[in-house]
């Protein structure tokens, strides 16, 4: 998914009249969090470049933007629903990333 696709999907879920640059900023904000989690340098998300979190977990981007649209439109019920969906999806994405990318250590967990 690209930044443009995330915004388009969020706009389909939550029709709005908010400035596009505001939504671009929200996607870039989340992409910065994803990059930090993955311990990658963050140089900003290009509008047509693939975002870091790919399918099947790329729904985090449009769910986050939809939740932020809810906040901007002061719709607390929709925000609650979207934030629950976003948090669950982001937690699944992070868990999957950790399972696939942490080095094997003989089954012992190390507390950082």
The interaxial angle of helices 76-101 and 59-72, nearest 10 deg, is 150
The answer to whether 85 touches 101, Cβ cutoff 8 Å, is no
pLDDT in the model for residue 52: 96
pLDDT in the model for residue 47: 87
Taking CA atoms, 95 is separated from 20, 26, 40, 61, in Å, by 31, 23, 17, 17
Nearest Cα neighbor of 39 from 111, 98, 107, 104 is 98
Task: Give strand pairing partners of 2.
Answer: 50
36 vs 49: CA distance, rounded Å:
18
Q: What is the mean pLDDT of each run of 10 residues along the chain (112 residues)?
A: 97 97 98 95 89 96 98 96 97 94 64 51
pLDDT in the model for residue 6: 98
Taking CA atoms, 87 is separated from 9, 49, 59, 106, in Å, by 18, 24, 11, 30
């Amino acid at each position: 998914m690209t930044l443009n696709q995330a915004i388009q999907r969020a706009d389909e879920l939550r029709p709005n009249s908010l400035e596009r640059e505001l939504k671009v900023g929200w996607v870039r904000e989340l992409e910065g969090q994803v990059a930090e989690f993955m311990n990658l340098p963050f140089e900003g998300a290009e509008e047509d470049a693939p975002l870091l979190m790919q399918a099947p977990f790329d729904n985090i981007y449009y769910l986050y933007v939809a939740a932020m649209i809810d906040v901007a439109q002061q719709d607390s019920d929709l925000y609650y629903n979207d934030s629950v969906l976003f948090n669950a999806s982001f937690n699944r994405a992070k868990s999957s990333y950790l399972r696939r990318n942490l080095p094997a250590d003989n089954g012992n967990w190390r507390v950082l």
